[in-house]
Amino acid sequence: MNIQRGAFIVFEGGEGAGKSTQVARLAASLRASGYEVVVTREPGGTAGAEAIRELVLDPEYSGLNPRAEALLFAAARAEHVSALIEPALASGKIVICDRFVDSSVAYQGLGRDLGAERIRELSHWATGGLLPDLTLILDIDPTVGLARAGQVNAAPDRMESENLGFHEMVRSAFLMAANEHPRRYLVIEADQSPDVIANSIATATTSLLG
């Protein structure tokens, strides 16, 4: 039996960009069109990776060594890709993932100054080279995004607690990635209405899925 491989769609963006809303909307609209869809997130997605998530985002470990942090995100990703994402793609499903490798490049590579290339290589090793078919970047000014995120989450996690300069670096890292590979990325201004954003996403995914 020859099952056609599924498609891997990733959402990226800074804090408070509204990714969760758009992930849910895209999943619902693809399911309504008859696709089998798996929604997942990073760090997390499997029991083991969710346990790593608890640890790596816990404000209790505010001084965690940046290399340890990068390795934990990569460890969670290795588990997530092998146990959930690859099997789902192999069985023809569409996988929608909230954050992936570009978050590591942005937060650990640039934000923590560990180097974009080094972090990309580490992630490449963790994933066996898996790349998204399409990455949707919800771009937002971090001043606006952090204020929005603060309204939703009473207690900021370790990343949200970083200063504005850190979040500006993160934003520029996402935009750089999109700039380098315009065919595999779509940058969407996240301060538009949720309906307008959802329409842009629908157009891009329709063209991806044919």
Does the footprint of ligand TYD cover residue 73 (CB under 6 A)?
yes
d(CA 95, CA 200): 19
Stretch that binds ligand TYD, among 32-40, 80-88, 101-109, 178-186 (CB under 6 A): 101-109
d(CA 43, CA 56): 9
Rounded (5°) CA angle 169-172-174:
115
Does the footprint of ligand TYD cover residue 159 (CB under 6 A)?
yes
Does the footprint of ligand TYD cover residue 205 (CB under 6 A)?
no
Residues that bind ligand TYD (rule: CB under 6 A) add up to a total of 16
d(CA 123, CA 120): 5
Q: What are phi and psi of 183, to 5 degrees?
A: -75, -25
Alpha-carbon 5 to chain mean position: 21
Stretch that binds ligand TYD, among 95-103, 127-135, 176-184, 196-204 (CB under 6 A): 95-103
Does the footprint of ligand TYD cover residue 42 (CB under 6 A)?
yes
Binding residues for ligand TYD, rule: CB under 6 A, are 15, 19, 41-43, 57, 73, 98-99, 103-104, 107-108, 157, 159-160
